[in-house]
A = this chain, B = another copy of it.
Amino acid sequence: MTNPTAAMLVIGDEILSGRTRDANMHHLAGELTRVGIDLKEARVVSDHAPAIVAAARALSAAYDHVFTSGGIGPTHDDITADCIAEAMGDTIDVRADARAVLQAHYDAQGIELNEARLRMARIPSRATLIDNPVSAAPGFTLGNVHVMAGVPRIFTAMVASVLPTLTGGAPLLSESLRVDRGEGDIAKPLADMVAAHPDLSFGSYPFQKDGGFGVNVVIRGTDAARLAQVREDLAARLAEI
């Protein structure tokens, strides 16, 4: 059985201009690995409707799940909800259930639910709301696209809300082996090992630190005992060179 696949779509000029460093991709990648959904691709696009619509369509068609981050607040540059509705062929308007969530939240704080804030209740007609325990304004799932906020604390909370509703596969496990040799020294024996275990994934990550250098070899698969055995075999093999 193969795991479900996923892509991430990060929306925001602030990432592409270098003003902000994206944190949500790294968080989502770790969470998906944990639940057995394979993140295959990530894209960052600007706050530009045609770019968002085209990317959402392409990723929705190519992968089992798409997770978006950013562009669902109350200001002029928050156009993600409308773009996802367009990409998925749905209509969008202020929805009563989302409006009720916002009304309760702002009433409790004595803040007016003005026209700008009401934009955050614009939800596509066929979407399911994603709970936002941090600041109320909900995300939503439409088809296979999960639309979430860009603020990392809210994104994290929404991921925690939506992941239990999805069916993952076998969690991807890894074993890591640190080798104090150059990549060029271990490349040949490593390639032999890769050829002998076509169902496992091997990564080779060189590092240079404190005047020393070496490689972290990471072996990934779903069977913990087998990974440990292959790690041991590889360590023995590399000890001979």
Contact = CB atoms under 8 A, between A and B. Distances in A.
A200 interface: no
Nearest to A48: B40
Could you say which of A15, A22, A27, A76 has the most chain B C-beta atoms within 10 Å of its C-beta? Answer: A76
A182 B111 CA distance: 10
A117 interface: yes
A228 interface: no
A53 interface: no
On chain A, which size bracket covers the interface?
35 or more
Contact of A187 (B19, B45, B116, B202): B116
A25 B15 CA distance: 9
Interface in A165-208: 172, 174, 182-188, 190-191, 194, 201-208
Contacts of A41: 16, 43-46, 51
Interface string A39-65: 111111111000100000000000000
A206 to B, nearest CB: 6
A114 B51 CA distance: 45
A212 interface: no
A194 B78 CA distance: 13
A44 to B, nearest CB: 4
Contact of A76 (B117, B190, B208): B190
A188 B16 contact: no
Contacts of A75: 183, 186-187, 190-191, 204
Interface string A11-37: 001111111111001111111110000
Contact of A44 (B30, B42, B153, B172): B42
Nearest to A192: B76
A227 to B, nearest CB: 14
A119 to B, nearest CB: 8
A14 B187 contact: no
Interface of A: 13-22, 25-33, 39-47, 51, 73-78, 111, 114-117, 119, 151, 153, 172, 174, 182-188, 190-191, 194, 201-208, 218, 220
28 contacts: A14-B203, A14-B205, A15-B25, A15-B42, A16-B39, A16-B40, A16-B41, A17-B174, A18-B26, A18-B27, A18-B29, A18-B31, A18-B33, A19-B205, A19-B218, A22-B26, A43-B44, A47-B203, A73-B183, A73-B206, A76-B187, A111-B182, A116-B183, A116-B184, A116-B187, A117-B184, A119-B187, A151-B206
